[in-house]
Homo-oligomer: A and B are copies of this chain.
Amino acid sequence: MYSFRNDYSEGAHPKVMEALADTNLEQTVGYGMDPRCQSAAALIRDLCKAPDADIHFLVGGTQANLVVIDAFLQSYEAVIGAHTSHINTHETGAIEATGHKVCSIYAPDGKLTPALVEEVLSQHNGTEHMVLPRMVYVSDSTEIGTIYTKAELAALRRCCDEHGLYLFLDGARLGSALTSPDNDLTLADIAALTDVFYIGGTKNGVLFGEALVLSNAAPKAHFRWHMKQRGAVLAKGRLLGIQFQAILEDGLYFDIARHANEMAFRLRDGIAALGYPFPVPSPTNQQFPVLPNTVIGQLEARGYQFEAQEAVDAEHTCVRFVTSWATPESAIDAFLKDLADCK
């Protein structure tokens, strides 16, 4: 019985596992200063058309978020995020624990816009009595599956430029976003439009890892000090370089993300065909149908796993299904057949 609970339910793509096995006894220096990391970094610079970018490899998303935000902001500066943003909800106050306020604002589709950013700015008077918002944090795809278009991201960039803000894109699910049928962004676009972003590996085929891309405008000089101080420098850093090399070098990253999306759409279409609604449409690998609680109970009794997103009413719940690089078509079909049997 399949788990649609998350896109990190399995290990890594076989090619990644092979790369780790092949290099296992190679000796390298530690902490990500090794040739494997240098090679992966060069590849990422190429893919991003950002020859001067600094590349750092971190183990996970919360770690990446807290290191980046604390490294970019002064003590009295704050970060703006959607009310649904990961930093505002599911990181146990990790950003505040580094001393910075998260200025959150309600964003119906999980996406920030210049208007929303400016609404937050308008609540601040620029004096020493209030924090200074200094960074905009967005996720692509967002925590509720939506994505940014190139026009939308460019508009945010202009807004940030106008108001002296950094733009940080959390790409934990960037593979799914960039291979969505609705997407018109490239890695190079994102590198050009943001000050810092990361290419999420954990949720797209590697054992763990996020590849951080720092643009020229970023405070690059002492970034590794910030990493180390937060326990975010992996001793065997080469594991990150090896994995990102394996997943990025032949477009595998995008191929498997596309597969995850296709499985999500197959699931979505099958569920919709059974008459269940999707209040927030998602063009990526997270799908949010509303199911009767009785049906949810029957699915769980059969062993399916997925998470509740939020209660809709006493009898219905919006649930979350996530597919991944590892989801087989057969799992979708078996699930849909079982769902059709539920009453």
Q: In the complex, A309→B19 CA distance in Å?
A: 34
Pick from B71, B130, B234: contact of A60, CB below 8 A: B234
Question: Would A128 and B224 be within 8 Å (CB), given that A2-B27, A11-B236, A236-B208 are in contact?
Answer: yes
**Contact (Cβ within 8 A) A101 B90:** no
Determine if B26 and A231 form an interchain contact, defined as CB atoms under 8 angstroms apart.
no
A125-155 Cβ-contact flags toward B at 8 Å (1 or 0): 0001111100000000000000000000000
- By a CB distance below 8 angstroms, the chain B residues around A202 are 235-236
Determine whether the beta carbon of A20 is less than 8 Å from that of B11: yes
Q: How far is the CA of A24 from the CA of B326 in the complex (A)?
A: 10
**A45–B130 Cα gap in the complex (Å)?**
28
Cβ contact of A14, chosen from B24, B29, B227, cutoff 8 A:
B24
Secondary structure of the A contact surface, majority rule = loop
Which residues on the B side are within 8 Å of A2 (C-beta)? 27
In the complex the two chains form, what is the Cα distance from A11 to B66 in whole Å? 27
Chain B residue nearest to A3 (CB atoms) is: B27
CB atoms of A229 and B94 under 8 A apart: yes
Is residue A239 within 8 Å, beta carbon to beta carbon, of the partner chain? yes
Interface-located stretch among A73-81, A161-169, A265-273, A283-291: A73-81
Partner of A92, one of B12, B61, B129: B129
Asked if B92 and A130 make an inter-chain contact with CB atoms under 8 angstroms apart, the answer reads yes
A99 at interface (Cβ–Cβ under 8 A)?
yes
Is A233's CB within 8 Å of the partner chain B?
yes
Alpha-carbon gap, A60 to B230, bound state (A): 11
**Chain B residues, Cβ within 8 Å of A97:** 75, 99, 229-230
Residue A62 CB within 8 A of the other chain: yes
Q: Are B92 and A76 in contact (CB under 8 A)?
A: yes
Decide yes or no whether A294 CB sits under 8 A from chain B: no
What chain B residues lie within 8 Å of A3 (beta carbons)?
Answer: 27, 29
Indicate if A17 sits at the interface (CB-CB under 8 A).
Answer: yes
Known contacts being A94-B230, A102-B101, A128-B224, is A9 close to B24, with CB within 8 Å?
no
Cβ of A244 to closest chain B Cβ, rounded Å: 15
A89 at the interface (CB under 8 A from B): yes
Which residues of A from 168 to 217 have beta carbons under 8 Å from B?
A: 202-203, 207-208
With beta carbons under 8 angstroms apart, the residue of B6, B66, B234 that contacts A208 is B234
Per a CB cutoff under 8 Å, which of B12, B61, B93, B100 touches A93? Answer: B100
Q: Is A226 at the interface (CB under 8 A from chain B)?
A: yes
Known: A12-B24, A239-B11. A225 touches B132 (CB 8 A): yes
Assess whether A333 is interfacial by the CB under 8 Å rule.
no
Q: Out of B9, B66, B230, name the residue touching A27 (CB < 8 Å).
A: B9
Q: 23 A-B residue contacts at CB 8 Å?
A: A10-B24, A10-B25, A11-B236, A11-B239, A20-B207, A59-B59, A63-B231, A65-B231, A66-B230, A70-B75, A71-B75, A76-B92, A76-B226, A78-B96, A90-B129, A92-B128, A93-B101, A128-B222, A128-B225, A132-B225, A202-B236, A208-B239, A231-B232
Q: What 3 A-B pairs have minimum CB-CB distances, sorted nearest first?
A: A63-B231, A11-B24, A76-B225
